[in-house]
Every structure is written in structure tokens, then in C-alpha cells.
Amino acid sequence: SSSVRMGVIRLQNLSRILCFSSHIILILLQQTTAARELKFVVALFRHGDRTPIVNFPTDLHKESEWPQGFGQLTKTGMQQLFELGQYTRKRYSSFLNITYNRQEFYIQSTDYDRTIMSAQSYLSGLFPPTSSQIWNPELLWQPIPVHIFQKTTEQRLNFPLPNCPRFDELQHETQTSKEFQNRIQPYMDFLQTMAVNTGLELNHLKILDNFQLWNTYDTLHCEEIHNYTLPVWATEDVINKMKKLAELSLFSLFGVYKTEEKSRLQGGVLVNIILNSIKQAVNSSKPRKMEVYSAHDTTVGALQIALNIFNGKLPPYAACQFFELYQESNGQVSSYLCKKEQYSIEMHYRNDTSKDPYLLTLPGCTSSCPLEKFAELVSPVITENWSKECGKKDKMKDIFIGLNVAVGLLSIFNLVLLYLLYHYGHCWRRNNYQNI
């Protein structure tokens, strides 16, 4: 019948439409995959294995027992960063030039021996000289500049950033906050025992932001790694509890209480620097492909807490946070069907050499986050006037105020002096006239 024929025709047409639609979608997906291109990378890593920073009163070992003393990179640390450099070379083999090119690559470090040496070790693995760059056939190494952030003038990687009165207030508030006390109270008996064992004062151990307990754990951790004799009380259970408290120290330093405000004064500063570098890579014709920062566990922690991607664990030696900027399909993916962002950011965290880096997701976005959306989501932790929000006084303003006050007082003094001269001068002349 005619109705049956019409039904068959409709089914055939529907089948053709579905087939055509599927074909179009497949083409679009293939175009998207093929056209996605890595454009820029930012990497921030913690230095490699080092000697302890300090010892504690009852420590069995002195600084003189450590090669090069406290706070120095070890041979293990050099190897860790060399391996990270090799991993970076492998990860970006089709992106980075095989030979070092100063216009494409830039690395900066804090002004500490261990971070500078970590950067140098990293570069040895990332850019071994090849062909024309080999200057000594017996040494497959080439000097590459590591730019240094000066401690006295540049603070963008030394966290917590100093000279911020408001942050100091927040730290004091944190120690007495309900959020912090709920976390620290279960450890009070343990802290009392630790005060006896370490020779440190209990009141100092309870204030986690002064680093005393964290440093003590760190010292024991270093000694354990390098097979130094530990105190008899430093059992596995004790060290695990100290590690938990060290993790709480890091988290409470930049989070736990009023995290967003803390981040504006701390990790958000670095978020802004990285975001600006990414935006420049989008808008600039310069050939730079990668920027790298050699820093500390507090640097990694401050950054991740500001981005709300912190896993609650201390960043291990050579932990590396990657930010990758992708250009998505040149912005030409079916604009009449759907709107797709032209650029996106992916974050990968490498804290375990036995596993691939973890793909992290910024809360409120997808793992491959459109650049505009990323910038919008991180805007609450970015400040336009750090000094003002820190409550720092403007020294020049104070000088001008002081000068104005001084000028005002001098003017008043001059007026008083003129009045006295006029008054007593007039009286003196009148008396002289009377004597005549």
C-alpha cells in the first residue's frame, strides 16, 4: 500500500540522515584530534634530595657530618633532576627543539645552592649537546644559563612571601581557628611526647607555621634516607605521625582557614605570573616554547592550594607541576554547529617516577580547560595590588606625609616668630620713644 511505501521511504531517509550525521561528527572529531597543537609549557619543580636544613636539640648528628653541610643538594638529588630533565625531553620530544635554543627556552631558580644545582642537573638531562653544540667530545654537557631570583629583591618563588602583615595576621588567626584546632587536637598527647624527645618547647611545636615540627620530621627523613642512625624513639609510627603533622603544616600555612584570602597574598601571585606567561604565548609572536622554575616544596604547595588541586601530601623531591597550553583546531571547529574555545590549559603533576603524571582538573572546569574559563576561575585568588592587600605602608607616601608635616610645623614656627618679632619690636620702639 502507499502508506507502507511512504513509511519505507521515511525510514530510508532517516537512515541516510543518521549516517550523514555520524559521518560529519566523525570528521569533526578527526579534525579536532589532528589539529590540536601544543603551543607553550610552564613547569615548576621542587629541588632534588638534599641534606637537612637544621638539626634539633637532641639530634644525634651534627652539620659537620653532612657533605657540604646543611641544605645542600646530594648526588641522589642531582640524579633525580637529571632524570626529570630526561623525562621532560621524552615528553616534549616533538615540541622542543632537540638542541638548546635560548629564544625557545628559559629557566629561573630561587637563590639557593640546592635549587640552582637542581636546575643545572635538570638541564643536563634535558639538553645534552648534539652535533655542533658538542664542545668537548669527552663531556656530553653544555653550559646553559639559569636565571636567579635574588632573595632581597625578588620574592615570587620564595614562599611564604615575606613582608606581608595581613598574611601574618591570618597565620595567627589560623592557629586559633576551629578548622585548625579540630585537626591538631588529636595530636596533642603526641606533641607533648615529641617535646620531651626532641628537646623543643611544646608551645613552639603546637604552632605549626614556625616550621619547627616540620623541620624535625624533615631532618629525620633525611637521616633515614641516607642511613644515618636514628634516635630510638624515632619509630616508623612516630615518623608517620610527624609526616602527617608536616603535611598539616603545609596545608595550614596556605589553606585550612580563609584559603582564598591567603592565596591572594601567596600562591595566587604565582598563579598570576604563570597565567600572564601563558597569555603572552597566545598573543605574542615570540618563539618561546617553555618556561621552567626551580623552587621548593612550599612553592609547589602554595601554587596547588591556590588552584585548589592540592592532594594534601608533601611534594616529594623533584615533584613537577606542568601547565600545557594547547591550540584547539585553530579555532575553526564547526563554528556554525558549536562554539569551541581556541586555546585550552591542561595541568599534569608528576610526583612518582614509576607512574605517568596525574592529569589534574581545576574545580569548575574540565581537565582540558578553555583558557578564558581558566582565567575566570582563578581570578578570585589574583590581586591587582599585593602591597595594599598585605597592609604594607607606602614608604614614599610616608615620606611625603612626613615632609608635609615638617613644612607645616616650620610654617607655624615662622608665623609665631614673626608675631613675636612684631610684638616685641613694637614695644621696644615705644619704650625708646618714651625715654627720649
Active site residues: 47, 297
* Residue 59 CB neighbour total at 10 angstroms: 18
CB 348 within 8 A of CB 331: no
Q: Which helix (H) or strand (E) holds 86?
A: helix 75-91
Show Cβ contacts of residue 292 under 8 Å, excluding neighbours closer than 6 positions: 42, 43, 44, 45, 105, 106, 107, 108, 119, 122
Identity at 224, one-letter amino acid code: E
Show Cβ contacts of residue 100 under 8 Å, excluding neighbours closer than 6 positions: 123, 127, 129, 133, 142, 144
Show Cβ contacts of residue 137 under 8 Å, excluding neighbours closer than 6 positions: none
How many whole angstroms from its chain centre is CA 213? 23
- Residue 157's closest CA among 313, 50, 309, 294? 294
How many Å apart are CA 335 and CA 341, to the nearest integer?
A: 10
Show Cβ contacts of residue 55 under 8 Å, excluding neighbours closer than 6 positions: 61, 62, 63, 70, 219
Identity at 201, one-letter amino acid code: E
3-state secondary structure of 140: coil
E strands, 27-176, where?
37-46, 105-110, 147-149
- Residue 253's closest CA among 156, 143, 159, 361? 159
